[in-house]
């Protein structure tokens, strides 16, 4: 009896204790939630992106799986659509340089995406300027970032054919290319490279390509290179420029161009787009 009375008394005390200052309780809850949200945001916006900068595999999981899926669900849009939105908002129509800048800013500060990027992009630019090609083939358009970079450095009357087999990406790329004002020089062809390469001569009146930029699925680099050779699309002096030879990597292709007597090959060391992970471009001159 004594015990139960004590218990009731204590219980009553507790109730009075919290009831005396309800504001305190809500404030504590509010601070807790705000602090938690701020911590999660800092992790999402700065800590994790900074940590995965140095690791290709972690970068892949973070940017390409977790963040992309989360933003797709939250915004009911796709990454290429958001990238196009950034171009339309921040780039000047008809100014390819501003389009490239807007995409790089978006990918560095908002959402990573697999464009060749600003660092490797400078190497790409200098190869294009050095070759001064009349005919260029790009494998894997994605959102049209490298397409714009290449097209804006082509001499008058030069032609760039870019292949993309994902119709959703092709829709975006066409708008990015048009926004940059380089659509006159670019022919975006929808379909798989393996289907189009054998038809290049008859369908597009191509004799040979002066430059081929490979940036599609990494395991397609080697079979498509052999296909271009078979189809007579390479002449003595044609240049193959391959992205991502280190990360994600194209070991069979590298082995082939570096050891084949038909190529003179050189590696340009750089970094995976928008990160500090090593990657680079391989420039291979076809010797005939």
Residues with catalytic roles: 215, 218, 243-244, 273
Tell me whether residue 95 or residue 204 sits nearer to ligand 72W (CB atom). 204
Q: Under the criterion CB under 6 A, does residue 165 sit at the interface with ligand 72W?
A: yes
According to DSSP, the residues that pair with 284 across neighbouring strands are 240, 265
> What secondary structure does DSSP assign to 24-40, as a single string?
HHHHHHHHHHHHHHHHH
82: Cβ contacts below 8 Å, ≥ 6 apart: 71, 75, 106, 110, 111
Please give the backbone phi and psi of residue 247, each rounded to the nearest 5 degrees, phi first: -135, 120
| From 152, 244, 250, 284, residue interacting with Mg ion (rule: CB under 5 A) | 244
| From 243, 270, 279, 286, residue interacting with Mg ion (rule: CB under 5 A) | 243
Q: Which of residues 203-222 bind ligand 72W (CB under 6 A)?
A: 215-217, 220
| From 118, 164, 215, 282, residue interacting with Mg ion (rule: CB under 5 A) | 215
CB of 259 to ligand 72W, least distance (A): 24
CB of 43 to Mg ion, least distance (A): 27
Per-residue mark of binding to ligand 72W, 6-45 (x: CB under 6 A): ----------------------------------------
Query: Per DSSP, which regions of 56-166 are E strands?
Result: 135-139, 159-164
**For residues 164 and 188, is the Cβ–Cβ distance under 8 A?**
yes
**For residues 80 and 107, is the Cβ–Cβ distance under 8 A?**
no
| From 136, 147, 153, 169, residue interacting with ligand 72W (rule: CB under 6 A) | 169
Work out what residue 225 binds among Mg ion, ligand 72W, none; the CB cut-off runs from 5 to 8 Å by kind: none
CB of 188 to ligand 72W, least distance (A): 11
Tell me whether residue 21 or residue 278 sits nearer to ligand 72W (CB atom). 278
**163's tokens:** 């292949």
CB of 111 to ligand 72W, least distance (A): 13
CA angle 85, 62, 34 (to 5 degrees): 80
Cβ burial of 223 (10 Å; 0-12, 13-18, 19+) is middle
Q: Under the criterion CB under 6 A, does residue 193 sit at the interface with ligand 72W?
A: yes
Give the C-alpha separation, 180 to 186, whole Å: 11
Contact footprint for ligand 72W (CB under 6 A): 56, 59-60, 64, 114, 140-142, 163-166, 169, 192-193, 215-217, 220, 243-244, 247-248, 272-273
């Amino acid at each position: 009896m004594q015990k139960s009375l004590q218990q009731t008394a204590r219980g009553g005390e507790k109730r009075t204790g919290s009831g005396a200052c309800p504001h305190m309780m809500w404030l504590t809850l509010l601070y807790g939630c705000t602090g938690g949200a701020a911590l999660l945001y800092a992790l999402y916006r700065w800590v994790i992106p900074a940590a995965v900068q140095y690791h290709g595999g972690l970068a892949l999981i973070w940017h390409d799986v977790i963040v992309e899926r989360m933003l797709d669900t939250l915004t009911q849009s796709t990454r290429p659509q958001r990238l196009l939105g950034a171009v339309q908002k921040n780039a000047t129509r008809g100014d390819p340089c501003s389009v490239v800048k807007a995409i790089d800013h978006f990918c560095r500060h908002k959402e990573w995406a697999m464009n060749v990027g600003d660092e490797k992009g400078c190497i790409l630019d200098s190869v294009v300027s050095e070759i001064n090609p009349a005919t260029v083939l790009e494998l894997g358009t994605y959102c049209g970032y490298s397409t714009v970079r290449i097209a804006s450095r082509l001499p008058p009357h030069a032609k760039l054919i870019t292949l993309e087999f994902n119709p959703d990406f092709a829709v975006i790329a066409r708008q990015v290319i048009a926004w940059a004002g380089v659509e006159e020089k670019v022919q975006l062809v929808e379909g798989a490279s393996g289907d189009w390469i054998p038809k290049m001569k008859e369908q597009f009146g191509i004799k040979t390509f002066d430059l081929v930029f490979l940036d599609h699925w990494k395991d397609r680099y080697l079979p498509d290179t052999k296909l271009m050779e078979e189809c007579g699309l390479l002449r003595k002096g044609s240049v193959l420029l391959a992205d991502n030879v280190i990360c994600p990597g194209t070991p069979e292709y590298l082995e082939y161009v570096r050891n084949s007597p038909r190529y003179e090959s050189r590696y340009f060391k750089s970094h995976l787009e928008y990160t500090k992970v090593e990657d680079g471009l391989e420039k291979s001159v076809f010797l005939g």
